[in-house]
Amino acid sequence: MIRDREIVRRIRKGDASVFEALFRSSYIPLVSYAKKIIKDHDSSEEIVQDLFFRIWQNRENLKIECSLNGYLFRAVHNKCLHAIAHNRVAENYARENNMEEKYAETPSDTLHFNELQGRVAAVLDRLPERCGRIFCMNRFEGLKYREIADRLSLSVKTVEANMGKALKEFRKELQKQ
């Protein structure tokens, strides 16, 4: 522990030879550890190199209370978890963009959508007020029958009956094509 404190103190003062010795002695074990977590050698090397770059860059503020080795492995572990999370976000974004491109709207799609919206609005106008409200709460707000019943002070059976009535009207409208 005293040796670790001395290494940290010397790095903080800008001793490049101590920093380089730490880098050389820790690099391969840290890359191996990172590779076990993220399963990619190049990314593992990048994580470890970035860690040492940041340590040197912020050396004046370097404070390590535990063992130096423990600190380095924990830092690599955290950077790997961050990289995994970042990759998931990037993959999800790419997947969503791909889906948007795959299903890009055409003028015909927009026309059909607008027509369907008009038909839905017409059915909702024909429904009794409470029936239309229950349908909207369920289908557009995502509320469950129990939640609707509680909000409107109705029984669940009443909500079910109104939803059945609304769905029957929508089926009739859609069969008119």
C-alpha to C-alpha distance for 159 and 147, rounded to whole angstroms = 10
Are residues 20 and 89 located together in one domain of the fold?
yes
Are residues 96 and 112 located together in one domain of the fold?
no
- Compute the radius of gyration of the chain from its Cα atoms: 31
Number of separate domains in the chain: 2
- Mind giving me the DSSP string for 46-115? HHHHHHHHHHHHTGGG----S-HHHHHHHHHHHHHHHHHHHHHHHHHHHHHHHHHHHT---HHHHHHHHH
Of 102, 135, 156, the residue at which a domain comes to its end is: 102
Are residues 82 and 38 located together in one domain of the fold?
yes
137-166 pLDDT, tens digit per residue, is: 998 888 899 999 999 999 999 999 999 999
Domain that residue 67 falls in: 2-102
Are residues 12 and 98 located together in one domain of the fold?
yes
C-alpha to C-alpha distance for 71 and 127, rounded to whole angstroms = 66
> Does the pTM of the predicted model rise above 0.75?
no
- Round to the nearest angstrom and report the end-to-end CA distance of the chain: 81
CA 167 to chain centre: 35
Are residues 124 and 45 located together in one domain of the fold?
no
6-15 pLDDT, tens digit per residue, is: 999 999 999 9
- What is the average per-residue pLDDT within 9-30? 94
Are residues 122 and 35 located together in one domain of the fold?
no
CA 154 to chain centre: 38
Are residues 73 and 150 located together in one domain of the fold?
no
What CATH number should be reported for the domain holding residue 114? 1.10.10.10
50-86 pLDDT, tens digit per residue, is: 999 999 999 998 888 888 989 999 999 999 888 888 8
Are residues 96 and 121 located together in one domain of the fold?
no
Are residues 67 and 85 located together in one domain of the fold?
yes
What CATH number should be reported for the domain holding residue 61? 1.10.1740.10
Using pLDDT thresholds of 50, 70 and 90, give the confidence band for residue 2.
low
Are residues 92 and 120 located together in one domain of the fold?
no
Are residues 9 and 55 located together in one domain of the fold?
yes
Q: Are 34 and 48 in contact (CB under 8 A)?
A: yes
Q: Are 166 and 131 in contact (CB under 8 A)?
A: yes
Are residues 9 and 24 located together in one domain of the fold?
yes
